[in-house]
């Protein structure tokens, strides 16, 4: 179904473990389920591709992204359709231990974007070449941070690189409400020099969704974490 103009949205952070994959996967599913969008998810965290793991895909599925990066013209054949959710996925390799060159990611995205409304790209924590390739391939990025000083401060560099590359950026503040000592939304905004687009609370159901391989937006759509991710999806869907 050509003729769409898939908006490519990268989910990035300079730090690991902040919730990039949880946000990317549940956002992709919410755009599909709640807002009836055609969505492709790309797992571009080539060292530790967790999207398929979080979906409970236990079979060895073809590492679609690696094939597509080698020859972007083959990208359509490399898309895996997850049977229980219907999500279209370009997965990473579960066995590869080498970092993969993402130079061709932009080409992969431009080859297939006409068939989707959104292309959601999960990424590795990076401030290096892989981040630059991601930024090139994306119309926009979601910067995921937690309200803790080292994470916020390190991500100032991600904002600087996105600004240099003129890639629009929204800040997603995840895992809010864990401790009284954490930074307030205002402090995060002042430190980053960017408004926070959405706050996602720390929510045991989000965590459980990952552990049980049933993404929270499907298993517990009314939990506070799901509601926040749906709000983000609504914001993005409304901008199309
Ligand atoms: N809002 C939340 N509430 C509770 N737990 C969360 C929340 N968001 C993420 N988590 C948990 O935090 C852990 C890390 O999340 P996730 O794997 O999405 O991070 P990541 O940024 O993708 O990590 P990596 O950089 O290693 O790819 C997981 O156990 C996940 O369940
Ligand atoms: Mg991840």
Q: Per-residue pLDDT tens for 111-133?
A: 999 999 999 999 999 999 999 99
Residue 50 in contact with ligand 1 by CB distance below 6 A:
yes
DSSP line for 62-75: --HHHHHHH-GGGH
Reported as a single tens digit per residue, the pLDDT across 140-151 is 999 999 999 999
CA separation for the pair 35, 232 (Å, rounded): 11
The answer regarding whether domain 7-238 maps to CATH 1.10.3720.10 reads: no
Query: In terms of DSSP bridges, do strands 80-81 and 88-90 run parallel, antiparallel, or are they unpaired?
Result: antiparallel
Closest alpha carbon to 50 in 80, 81, 25: 25
Residue 177 in contact with ligand 1 by CB distance below 6 A:
no
Reported as a single tens digit per residue, the pLDDT across 151-198 is 999 999 999 999 999 999 999 999 999 999 999 999 999 999 999 999
Q: Whose CA is nearest to atom 16 of ligand 1?
A: 19
- Residue 1's pLDDT is what? 42
Residue 194 in contact with ligand 1 by CB distance below 6 A:
no
Q: Which of 13-17, 64-68, 90-94 is modeled with the greatest confidence?
A: 13-17
SS3 label, residue 176 = strand
Closest alpha carbon to 219 in 26, 8, 52, 2: 26
Quote the percentage of the chain above a pLDDT of 70: 96
Tell me the average pLDDT across 94-108. 88
Reported as a single tens digit per residue, the pLDDT across 191-216 is 999 999 999 999 999 999 999 999 99
pLDDT at 97 over 90: no
CA separation for the pair 96, 45 (Å, rounded): 11
pTM of the entire structure? Answer: 0.96
């Amino acid at each position: 179904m050509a003729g769409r103009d898939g908006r490519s949205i990268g989910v990035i952070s300079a730090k690991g473990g902040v919730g990039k994959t949880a946000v990317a996967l549940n956002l992709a599913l919410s755009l599909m389920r709640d807002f009836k969008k055609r969505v492709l998810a790309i797992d571009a965290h080539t060292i530790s591709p967790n999207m398929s793991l979080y979906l409970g895909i236990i079979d060895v599925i073809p590492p679609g992204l690696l094939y597509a990066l080698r020859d972007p013209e083959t990208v359509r054949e490399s898309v895996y359709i997850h049977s229980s959710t219907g999500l279209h996925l370009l997965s990473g390799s579960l066995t590869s231990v080498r970092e993969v060159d993402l130079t061709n990611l932009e080409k992969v995205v431009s080859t297939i974007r006409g068939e989707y409304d959104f292309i959601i790209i999960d990424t590795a924590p990076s401030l290096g070449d892989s981040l630059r390739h991601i930024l090139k391939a994306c119309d926009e990025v979601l910067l995921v941070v937690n309200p803790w000083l080292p994470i916020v401060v390190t991500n100032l560099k991600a904002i600087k690189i996105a600004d240099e590359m003129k890639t629009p950026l929204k800040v997603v503040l995840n895992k809010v409400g864990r401790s009284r000592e954490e930074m307030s939304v205002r402090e995060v905004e002042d430190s980053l020099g960017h408004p926070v687009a959405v706050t996602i609370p720390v929510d045991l159901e989000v965590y459980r969704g990952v552990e049980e391989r049933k993404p929270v937006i499907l298993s517990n759509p009314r939990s506070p974490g799901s509601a926040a991710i749906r709000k983000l999806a609504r914001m993005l869907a409304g901008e199309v």
